[in-house]
Amino acid sequence: MKNIKAIIFDAYGTLFDVNSAAEMCKNKIGDKWENFSNYWRMTQLEYTFLRTLMDRYKDFWQITEDSLDKSMKVYKIDNSLKKELLNLYKKLSVFPEVKQTLIKLKEKKLKLAILSNGTPTLLNGLVNSNNLNDLFDDIFSIDEVKVYKPSPKVYEMPIKKYKIKKNEVAFLSANTWDVSGGGNYGYNPVWVNRNNNIFDNLDFKPDYEIKNLKDISSFL
């Protein structure tokens, strides 16, 4: 991968562990905590896709709460845990290798940014709570364009600000549909396949597949 001027990261599942909120409550939720957490995440994503198709925008925090409501009913989890789970979602854990990888990339004088469905408040909160404040040049939220990934309007935001070419961007995501969305837009897409998943059949395949962010050196 040549002439890369910016590395753009997805947030949820790529930098931050979306299961960490439910995991912190696993003693209260029980053995079903992981299935519950995965269902919450899939419902959350489903709502972003459906609201985009219906042209009925709600911000990501509202969608997170709506999807949690349904998930708690499906898994018969006491509603008294709702406030705690939502508060924990604001402080999701960063994956272990993320900070040191970002520090090394910063030394290369590359633009580093987050491009996410999350609201600015949520994303800034996650960056601050995980002590990543000085490592990103920008945090781009879909709140600016009021449409969710994988709309091309989302991927356009960093290009407009940085005045660079699409093929000068390496875009990293753990979500296959997001990787395809970035590839469809014209980015160099990289799949962070943390869980040995199978890539979806969505026309655009990743240029590179890595297990975690430490493997970034394999293509830079």
Catalytic residues: 10
Question: What does the alpha-carbon distance between residue 56 and residue 53 come to, in Å, rounded to a whole number?
Answer: 8
DSSP classification of residue 204: P
Q: Which residues does 201 contact at the CB level (< 8 Å), separation at least 6? A: none
Of 19, 23, 22, residue with least CA distance to 72: 22
CB hemisphere CA count around 96 (13 angstroms): 2
- Give which of 89, 158, 95, 83 is closest to 118, Cα–Cα: 89
* Ranges of H-type helices in the chain: 20-24, 26-29, 33-54, 60-74, 82-89, 98-106, 120-129, 152-162, 176-185
| Count of C-beta atoms within a 10 Å radius of residue 62 | 13
